[in-house]
Amino acid sequence: MDLYEYQAKELFRRHAIPVPPGGVASNPAEARAIAAELATPVVVKAQVKTGGRGKAGGIRPAPGPAAAEEEAARVLGMDIKGHTARSVLVEAATVPFEEYYAAFLVDRAAGGFLAMVSGQGGMDVEEVAATHPEALVRMPVDPLAGVDGRLLAGKAGLPEAAAEVLERLWRAMVAEDALLVEVNPLVCTTDQRIVALDGKVTLDDNAAFRHSWDPPERTGGLEDRARAKGLNYVKLDGAVGVIGNGAGLVMSTLDVVALAGAAPANFLDIGGGASAQVMADGLEIILSDPGVRCVLVNVFGGITACDAVATGIVGALAQLGERGTARPIVVRLDGNNAEAGRRILSDARHPAVRQVHTMDGAAELAARLAAGA
């Protein structure tokens, strides 16, 4: 579960990690009241679970309460990379003397924990790693021994005052069962205080039973609608909607779509069941995404045979009616009873359906159709 910045900073406060004073507002009047209580210049920050807020105009300075109200009115409702800002964080403006980067994360490739710290903060860590790889310190963390803040700060060129904050960030990660704790920037102020100006935290959903976390926010978006239907769906930013049976097959399908020159619009795993209702639900969710220009259904028949899948697709399109003909649907069936499944689709003669027998060929056709070719 990803946290909003204001939620991450509430977590930081619980672990004595310094953050600017502030509060969250859902309307301009609340933003004005928070700024008036702070009685100092503030920053109004869009609360969305994506990066690039500053470049998109979602972070705005305000010298006082009236300006905070005006800036909140501009930011609220703003779309940033497909995420709508429904609240803003209003916090005291902090003048940094130096900016750093600090993160602790689960390193799945190494099967352990990793610390990443840099004396160059305030920009994408990917950019630092690409242009100045020597500036990003990567250090495995022994979960039993913990973090030596002085050693980590010294290697990255951070002041000694940052050592305790680094150790607290690690302890917060362990205590909260987090997969990621990131601060960019972690700053040293002009009066030599170390403050977390931003916060990104991902919690491990599997550890929810040990905590009293607030449930994930329900925004009525596609992911919420898919979850309500019992679908394993993740929205992405491309134009090719993807449906598959099995997480591994879906991940492979995303790769071949990308290799074909298109960007996938989603991850959607229908699992072993491919009934008409499951397919209808999946297609309805994908076709509700205005960015989708073509749908790719990639199924390998196993326990659920391809003829059952094909019957489900035909039934789903019958349920969807005109919505099912709005965009082309490329179908690749292979495995158990594939020939029977292909015959069912051919006999249905649905105007939106195109059949391709290979995975690469299906991805290439879907990419061309998404591009309007």
Closest CA to 257 of 355, 150, 146, 363: 363
- Active site includes 233? no
Q: Quick one: how many helices (H) and strands (E) in the chain?
A: 12, 18
> Amino acid identity, residue 211?
H
Q: Which of 108, 124, 123, 117 is nearest to 167 (CA)?
A: 117
Q: Which is the catalytic residue, given 4, 6, 100, 101?
A: 101
- The C-alpha atoms of residue 266 and residue 241 are separated, in whole angstroms, by 6
Contact 365, 354 (CB under 8 A): yes
Sign of CA dihedral 190, 68, 221, 287: negative
CA distance 366 to 260: 9
Closest CA to 316 of 237, 231, 247: 231
The one catalytic residue in 30, 71, 91, 182 is: 182
Whole-number Å distance between alpha carbons of 31 and 68? 6
Q: Is 182 a catalytic residue?
A: yes
Catalytic center residues: 101, 182
